Chains A and B, each alone.
Chain A
Amino acid sequence: MKASPIEIVRSLRRYRETVWLASSGAAGDGFYSVLRYAIRFVRLLVLLSVWEVVFASRDLAGVAALGTVQTYTLVAGAFGTFLDARTDLGEAIWDGRIATWFVAPVPVFGHAIAVMMGRWIPSFGAFTLPVLLAAPWIGVDARPASLVAGMLFVPSLACSVTIGLAVDLLLASLMVATGWSVWDMQRLRTALGTLLTGAVIPLAFFPWGLGAILAWTPLAAMASAPLRIYTGDGDAWNLMAGQVVWVVVMGGASIAIWSRMRERLVGYGG
């Protein structure tokens, strides 16, 4: 049954309220809220310096240029939250909170995504934007490789977020199916994200042809693909096509699993 325009507006209003509440939650603690971004900024600065050291000690002309790698690292840091999209779904399932999500007049997934997006707002304002604006002073060119690269980065980022959400749901389902804790799922995701997505070190720098193999995985589609599109490393349209394939595959798998696990998910937890 198609939703009427009024219903669509009401839905959007509900999501807007959820997004707003989620974004304002942490802001209530004033400037303490930005401390975590200060830590992330320090980490980013160190990573940029490490690349300078690496390039100063090795001839890497055949692999990449320092400027490109530093742009890659800066953008990966600035958009880190988006490249590793996570909801509260796992935690809500673990402590039983998800039961209350089911009795709200919004889709459960919609609620989880709205909360996630709400938390993105302060992150974007307090970290992403300042980092991009401060790039020239840090000595990094934050501009995309070309206008097309910049424009394609946006849908690529959207694909990355979608795949991230699908991974989120798949891990949550795995948690319910196996009884593993939400903390282990989060740790699994963090480790995989750090190592295998290309978010910290570009896949081109992996030895033994590992990078080429990982480039075919959905993990690479979460981070490596959009970052390579931005920095003009590789065929942007091919990279996007790969992401779209993974969006379809991962999205389909997660929806199918969600449908089967739905009741079990609600009964799980406290």
Chain B
Amino acid sequence: MGLGLSHLSRVPARLALGFRMDLAFVLRSPALTIYYLAIDALLIPAVGGATFLLAERLAGIGPWSDWQVLFLLGYATTVEGILSAAFTYNVSHISRRIGRGQFDHLLVQPQPLWLTLATEGFAPISGGAALVTGIAIMTWAWTGLGLPLTLAWTGAFAVNLLSSVCVVLATMFLWSVVAFWAPVAGEEISMNVHDALGSLGTFPLDGIGGAMGVGLVTVFPAGLVAWMPVRALVGVSADPWGFLLTPAAAVLMFVIAVPTFARGLRRYRQTGSSRYSAFGHRR
């Protein structure tokens, strides 16, 4: 059963398809779309907005200034925005597809599963509001911080941003494996994980030491959603290796998540799904 890497050449066509479908969706009901975009633009940052308000009230949190906290919020919103734009339709919330018995819809497609998961959730327009908002917040904070825009910094920023996305996805997929064994209990587990990562990911976690501190950058990597990479990017931490920790963690999590998910998939092929609900399927 190989990885099907020969299908890599099909990724652009799949993404173009997603873009086309999303554009048509947006143009069919512009009023509804404006609502969706406004909701996303306001609500996704709102999850971390409490942290920002706290920083404003207290003129910063710990060693973080309010501008740095704002950048942290923008970064976390951008991570969420990438997930919304590229992995919607419950691709990131894969536990819902598994728990609702909708995984069969993926298995009847003549392409490797990784290609389906990488491209089926691509909705850059209807899901792009949070991305735009996150970038806007980061830009505003960046001007307030007066950070130099060098090639090295930009490269480190891009790599860390994508690594944070990878960390969130890998964590959600890892926890979603539960749904292969317990479809009822596991159906919403990706949502639980996502909410926890999202709400904790916007907090500056400096000062949290010991086992909890380690845990927040390993087993439950809320610290890698934004805190760890942004510490390095905005200069809260002078550690030169700070730029590398999140990418390294992303690679490690990916290496763990893939075979774990494959194990769950093997179980699914043996047991099938005793439930089926069309709720949320391709909508």
List the A side residues contacting B54 at CB < 8 Å.
Answer: 54, 201, 205
Nearest chain-A residue to B64 (Cβ)?
Answer: A57
Q: Is B262 an interface residue (CB 8 A)?
A: no
Interface set, chain A 171-203, CB cutoff 8 A to B: 178-181, 183-184, 187-188, 190-192, 194-195, 200-201
Q: Is A25 an interface residue (CB 8 A)?
A: yes
Rounded to whole angstroms, the CA-CA distance of A181 and B188 in the bound complex is 18
| Contact of B185 with A188 in the complex, beta carbons under 8 Å | no
**CB of B235, distance to nearest CB on chain A (Å):** 17
| Contact of A33 with B185 in the complex, beta carbons under 8 Å | yes
Q: Is A43 an interface residue (CB 8 A)?
A: yes
Nearest chain-A residue to B99 (Cβ)?
Answer: A29
Q: Is B111 an interface residue (CB 8 A)?
A: no
List the B side residues contacting A109 at CB < 8 Å.
Answer: none
Rounded to whole angstroms, the CA-CA distance of A191 and B175 in the bound complex is 23
Count of chain A to chain B residue pairs whose CB atoms are closer than 8 Å in the complex: 132
Q: Is A56 an interface residue (CB 8 A)?
A: yes
| Contact of A46 with B279 in the complex, beta carbons under 8 Å | no
Q: Is B107 an interface residue (CB 8 A)?
A: no
9-residue interface stretch from B205-213, B248-256, B263-271: B205-213
9-residue interface stretch from B3-11, B18-26, B162-170, B189-197: B189-197
Mark interface residues in B54-73 (1 if CB within 8 Å of A CB, else 0). Answer: 10111111110000000000
Q: Is A32 an interface residue (CB 8 A)?
A: yes
| Contact of A53 with B61 in the complex, beta carbons under 8 Å | yes
Q: Is A125 an interface residue (CB 8 A)?
A: no
Q: Is B43 an interface residue (CB 8 A)?
A: yes
**CB of B219, distance to nearest CB on chain A (Å):** 9
| Contact of A53 with B206 in the complex, beta carbons under 8 Å | yes
Q: Is A58 an interface residue (CB 8 A)?
A: yes
Interface set, chain A 197-224, CB cutoff 8 A to B: 200-201, 205-208, 210
**CB of B56, distance to nearest CB on chain A (Å):** 4
List the B side residues contacting A8 at CB < 8 Å.
Answer: none
Nearest chain-B residue to A58 (Cβ)?
Answer: B58
Rounded to whole angstroms, the CA-CA distance of A35 and B189 in the bound complex is 8
List the A side residues contacting B118 at CB < 8 Å.
Answer: none
| Contact of A54 with B57 in the complex, beta carbons under 8 Å | no
List the B side residues contacting A179 at CB < 8 Å.
Answer: 32
| Contact of B62 with A29 in the complex, beta carbons under 8 Å | no
Once A32-B185, A201-B54 are accepted as A-B contacts, the answer to whether A53 and B32 lie under 8 Å apart by CB is no
Band of interface residues on B: 35 or more
Q: Is B158 an interface residue (CB 8 A)?
A: no
Q: Which of B62, B188, B216 contacts A54 (CB 8 A)?
A: B62
| Contact of B196 with A42 in the complex, beta carbons under 8 Å | yes
Once A32-B178, A35-B189, A60-B58 are accepted as A-B contacts, the answer to whether A50 and B205 lie under 8 Å apart by CB is yes
Rounded to whole angstroms, the CA-CA distance of A181 and B36 in the bound complex is 9
Q: Is B181 an interface residue (CB 8 A)?
A: yes
Q: Is A146 an interface residue (CB 8 A)?
A: no
Rounded to whole angstroms, the CA-CA distance of A190 and B46 in the bound complex is 9
List the B side residues contacting A188 at CB < 8 Å.
Answer: 39, 43
Rounded to whole angstroms, the CA-CA distance of A225 and B212 in the bound complex is 31
Q: Is B27 an interface residue (CB 8 A)?
A: no
Q: Is A5 an interface residue (CB 8 A)?
A: no
| Contact of A195 with B193 in the complex, beta carbons under 8 Å | no
Q: Is A235 an interface residue (CB 8 A)?
A: no
| Contact of A46 with B207 in the complex, beta carbons under 8 Å | no
List the A side residues contacting B46 at CB < 8 Å.
Answer: 191-192, 194-195
| Contact of A205 with B57 in the complex, beta carbons under 8 Å | yes
Interface set, chain B 223-279, CB cutoff 8 A to A: 279
Q: Which of B53, B186, B207 contacts A207 (CB 8 A)?
A: B53
| Contact of A91 with B185 in the complex, beta carbons under 8 Å | no
List the A side residues contacting B196 at CB < 8 Å.
Answer: 39-40, 42-43
Q: Which of A32, A201, A210 contacts B186 (CB 8 A)?
A: A32
Interface set, chain B 49-103, CB cutoff 8 A to A: 49-51, 53-54, 56-63
List the A side residues contacting B114 at CB < 8 Å.
Answer: none
Q: Which of A28, A95, A192, A194 contacts B184 (CB 8 A)?
A: A28
Tell which of A52, A54, A60 has the most Cβ of chain B within 10 Å.
Answer: A54
Q: Is B156 an interface residue (CB 8 A)?
A: no
List the A side residues contacting B175 at CB < 8 Å.
Answer: 35, 39
Q: Which of B49, B57, B60, B193 contacts A39 (CB 8 A)?
A: B193
List the B side residues contacting A10 at CB < 8 Å.
Answer: none
**Contacts A32-B178, A46-B208 supplied; 18 other A-B pairs, CB < 8 Å:** A28-B184, A29-B182, A35-B178, A36-B185, A36-B189, A46-B200, A46-B216, A47-B200, A53-B61, A54-B62, A57-B60, A180-B35, A184-B39, A188-B39, A194-B199, A201-B50, A205-B57, A207-B57
For this complex, 9 residue pairs linking A to B, each with C-beta atoms less than 8 Å apart, are A39-B192, A39-B196, A42-B215, A46-B208, A50-B205, A50-B208, A181-B283, A187-B43, A192-B46
Query: Interface residues, chain A, CB within 8 Å of chain B?
Result: 25-26, 28-30, 32-33, 35-36, 39-40, 42-43, 45-47, 49-50, 52-54, 56-58, 60, 91, 95, 178-181, 183-184, 187-188, 190-192, 194-195, 200-201, 205-208, 210
List of 5 A-B pairs having minimum Cβ-Cβ separation, nearest first: A32-B182, A53-B207, A191-B43, A29-B185, A29-B182
